[in-house]
Chain A
Amino acid sequence: MTANSPSEKRLEELREQAWKEGVVAGKGVDVAGGPIPRKPGYYGQPVVKQPVWTWEVPLYFFFGGMAGMSAVIASGAVIFHHLNLARTAMWVASIAGAILSPILLIMDLGRPHLFLNMLRVFKHRSAMSMGAWILSAFGACAVPGLIALELHANQIFPGTLDQLLRVAAGIFICGAAIFGTLLATYTGVLIGATAIPAWFLHRTLLPIHFGTAGLGSAGALLELFGHRITALNFLGFYAAAVETVLLIWLSIDKHGDADRAIHEHGSGWLIRIGEVLTGPIPLVLRFFGAIPLAAISFLLGALVSRFGWIAVGKISARDPESVFASQK
């Protein structure tokens, strides 16, 4: 048997085919994982672990952002004497921020009954710890703020007590507004300061996106509740314009293999659909005065892009090459 005999050539062909394609078109012969590994890294195993978070977390990002920025709108409304708008905004802030958000966060825990351990320590170097404290502080301002505002608006108590309530409502609502801006933006820090390439490479963009999406969704929801005032329309324009800029930024700011999960996968499309629904579409719709449609589009987009960012993190974490590329 010489080195050039037909049978040897056939083996060479198989070797070539196996080398190039990873699979030999024979009777179920599969050389993947064969003698010499051809997958990146160690048999293609992920280098970093993918997030264990499920649907509760992106939904929390959505409601938390909306609640936080709703309190900001409420503070503006209180200062400029839009009492009814302030009341609706504080209801949104309290229900989304003090009821839905904690429920979603607790549901996502591996051991929900130990949720109070979140308040065992205060760690400024942990975005998760800061988030737990921000959410608690927000709830502690938003709910009393709403109660005081409603008591004042319905003139439950007479005279001096009512004046006291008015002042208390103002203070609590301003507190809720300050913690609200942090509640809406810290989620970007939360996923931006991790070991996952598609997230940490966009850590500057993420808080801007989450915060602005929160502001836009709060305004959009209040418009859908019937508060069709120019100030909210202006905020709608502002949020949509910022999101349009972020859409362009994200498509320019590419990091090759390191963040390819954003640019090459279905999850990347989720982010882009979300950005288009929050950016250009509501911008155009508002320009033509179709405010309810613009509001619905923005709310949908803000929700979709939150799911998109979590999905991108999972894909990016599973991809060893993107981790290696991010450390080049």
Chain B
Amino acid sequence: MIGEGTHSTNQRRHTYVPDHVEVGFFTDPTVCIGCKACEVACKEWNQVPDDGFIWSGNSYDNTGHLGASTWRHVMFLEQDRAKGNQIAGPMSQDEDPFRWVFLSDVCKHCEEAGCLEACPTGSIVRTEVGSVLVQNDVCNGCGYCVVSCPFGVIDRRPQPLPDAGGAFKCTFCYDRQKSGLVPACAKVCPTESIVFGRLDDLRARATERVQQLQQSGYNDAQLYDPTETSVRGIHAFFLILGEPEAYGLPPKPQIPTIYLKSAWTSAFATAIASIIATLLAFAFFS
């Protein structure tokens, strides 16, 4: 029975919100079957409006990218590489290697979140469980979080969709978590490719899983969790096969606040130079 395994945390009730326990998602593409149940569950539970039905032609992915009305997005990668030590086809050894990889993308809930720092209204907050939440009733739609997210997750919802004008992204199902429930996407994932749980547990599980895969011939399996950059790690991390670029993930994401010092220095220097130039102009030419 799904969710009855010894490690499974996806179907259990919890008290993480009152206990202030940091939680996260660990998403593993090697067990994802590309069913998109997470996308459907997310839309249904959170009542996220549809944002158009576009036939992309990009494998089985007609969702495209995360956005104001897409908080889970299953990626379909088609790569000319072997998946672990799989046999690509029955014909011969000359067969072109090929692999199909599915990965459910989501808001990363950064340790240092660009959107949260940028928000001028205080609409975006950090919750008790360490996730990043947009308070829809406070957001005035200035759009600064949109350009401050190094992962291109958050976006402003365009007219004429419901609640248009505000910024939206994954809420980590904060409403469900407050009631002791697991986020909708993790709840429905039939293979537990999406795992929800305590951050420390998940990090240990992810490291273990990467080792296990590498031993089984998945030489390019790695953990995507940029702890070495100014983002200082993410609460929704991924196991990936190959390079992060192929998943549209930035290899070294940076929080834009690291650019503030040099930009403000330049601004203050310009401010002082302008005042001096003006005073000199009047002093010498009056």
If A53-B143, A189-B264 touch, does A117 touch B138 (CB 8 Å cutoff)?
A: yes
Given A49-B154, A111-B139, A126-B120, A41-B246 contact (CB < 8 Å): yes
B79 touches A (CB below 8 Å): yes
Among A77, A117, A327, contact of B282 (Cβ-Cβ < 8 Å) = A77
Q: Does A294 contact B (CB under 8 A)?
A: no
Which residues 56-103 of B have a CB within 8 angstroms of A? 56-59, 61, 64-65, 67, 75, 77-80, 98
Q: How many Å lie between the Cα of A212 and that of B275 in the bound state?
A: 11
B225-284 CB contacts (< 8 Å) to partner A: 245-254, 256-257, 259-260, 262-272, 274-275, 277-284
Are B285 and A184 in contact (CB-based, < 8 A)?
no
- Interface flags, A314-326, vs B, CB<8A=1, else 0: 0001001001100
From B277, which residue of chain A is reached at the shortest CB distance?
A: A238
Name the segment of B25-33, B145-153, B215-223 touching the other chain. Answer: B145-153
Q: Which A residues are in CB contact (< 8 Å) with B257?
A: 125, 193
The reply to whether the CB of B142 lies closer than 8 angstroms to some CB of chain A is yes
A106 to chain B, nearest CB (A): 9
**Which of A41, A82, A123, A320 interacts with B286 by CB under 8 Å?**
A82
CB–CB A186/B267 < 8 A? yes
CB distance from B283 to the nearest CB of A (A): 7
Contact check, A42 vs B75: say whether CB atoms are below 8 A apart: yes
- Chain B residues within 8 Å of A184, by CB: 270-271, 274
Give Cα distance in the complex from A208 to B270, angstroms: 5
A72 contacts which of B120, B142, B278 (Cβ < 8 Å)? B278
Chain A 194-222 near chain B by CB (<8 Å), digits 1 or 0: 11100110011111100110110000000
Stretch at the interface among A140-148, A225-233, A273-281, A301-309: A225-233
Within 8 A of B (CB), among A31-85: 32-33, 35-37, 40-43, 45-53, 69, 72-73, 75-77, 79-82
In the complex, chain A residues whose CB is within 8 Å of the CB of B152: 46-49, 195, 317
Name B142-196 residues within 8 Å CB distance of A.
142-144, 146-157, 164-167
Q: Looking at chain A's contact residues, is the secondary structure mostly helix, strand, loop, or mixed?
A: helix
B57, B155, B270: the one contacting A33 at CB < 8 Å is B57
Determine if B117 is an interface residue (Cβ-Cβ < 8 Å).
yes
Which of A21-29, A127-135, A153-161 lies at the binding interface?
Answer: A127-135
Q: Which residues of A contact B286 (CB under 8 A)?
A: 80-82, 231
CB distance from A327 to the nearest CB of B (A): 4
Tell me which of A51, A111, A118 has the highest count of chain B C-beta atoms within 10 A of its own C-beta. A111
Q: How far is the CA of A196 from the CA of B259 in the complex (A)?
A: 11
- Chain A residues numbered 76-135 whose CB sits less than 8 Å from any CB in chain B: 76-77, 79-82, 108-112, 114-115, 117-118, 120-121, 123, 125-129, 131-132
Chain B residues whose CB sits within 8 angstroms of the CB of A191 once the complex forms? 147
In contact, A42 and B246 (Cβ under 8 angstroms) = yes
B78 touches A37 (CB 8 A): yes
5 residue pairs from A and B, CB less than 8 Å apart: A51-B147, A76-B281, A109-B140, A114-B139, A177-B275
